[in-house]
Chain A
Amino acid sequence: DAGVIQSPRHEVTEMGQEVTLRCKPISGHDYLFWYRQTMMRGLELLIYFNNNVPIDDSGMPEDRFSAKMPNASFSTLKIQPSEPRDSAVYFCASRVAGAGAHNEQFFGPGTRLTVL
């Protein structure tokens, strides 16, 4: 089975441009998570979805960030306009429903974003 798929793997853009990151979760997984990782702040949860519905977006830094999940197999994270401080690795993760060990999340390879 394919794991979580993310694209692009690397993105270099200029300040002010729109950036769209894409994620395909593992088939059958009910939850999808978007994280941002930097050296300074570690792994931060931005938003998560359950059955395509956004549940908690309290980690989204500001209105420049938005996320959608139009169906069970696709999600996007958009930054508009991008700023240099948005430079980070963005991970998507998914998991099945349930508690306990079901909380295990499976991570995609990440998108390394550089905003110049």
Chain B
Amino acid sequence: GQNIDQPTEMTATEGAIVQINCTYQTSGFNGLFWYQQHAGEAPTFLSYNVLDGLEEKGRFSSFLSRSKGYSYLLLKELQMKDSASYLCAVPGGATNKLIFGTGTLLAVQP
């Protein structure tokens, strides 16, 4: 089966860097997704990793280590608007489902 673990909450300061970790267990790996969800809104796609290493996309980067079952989302130059929940998700094997973690609620403070 699949299992995903993320910290429940994190707090960081505007302008700083924050790293949100995700560990997963899955039968058959087919990539890992990160979604951002602002309060009261739908989840929106941030990144997809299928190979080991760091994928950079502007202020956001995502890292994957398949051997360790580990990923992180790195947010640089934090802005107040980055306050949101960040969801880690993996495809559920051959089932075409996405299995979501419970999300990490990030609060960016002035």
A-side residues, CB < 8 A to B, are 31, 33, 42-43, 45, 48, 50, 55-56, 91, 99-101, 103-110
Looking at chain A's contact residues, the main secondary structure is: strand
Q: CB-nearest residue of chain A relative to B32?
A: A103
10 closest cross-chain pairs (CB), A and B: A107-B42, A42-B102, A43-B100, A103-B91, A101-B48, A107-B43, A109-B42, A104-B45, A100-B31, A110-B42
> What chain B residues lie within 8 Å of A105 (beta carbons)?
45, 98
Query: Interface extent on B, as a size class?
Result: 20 to 34
On B, residues with C-beta under 8 Å from A are: 30-31, 33, 41-45, 48, 50, 87, 91, 95-98, 100-103
- B96 cross-chain contacts in A, Cβ below 8 A: 31, 48, 50, 55, 103
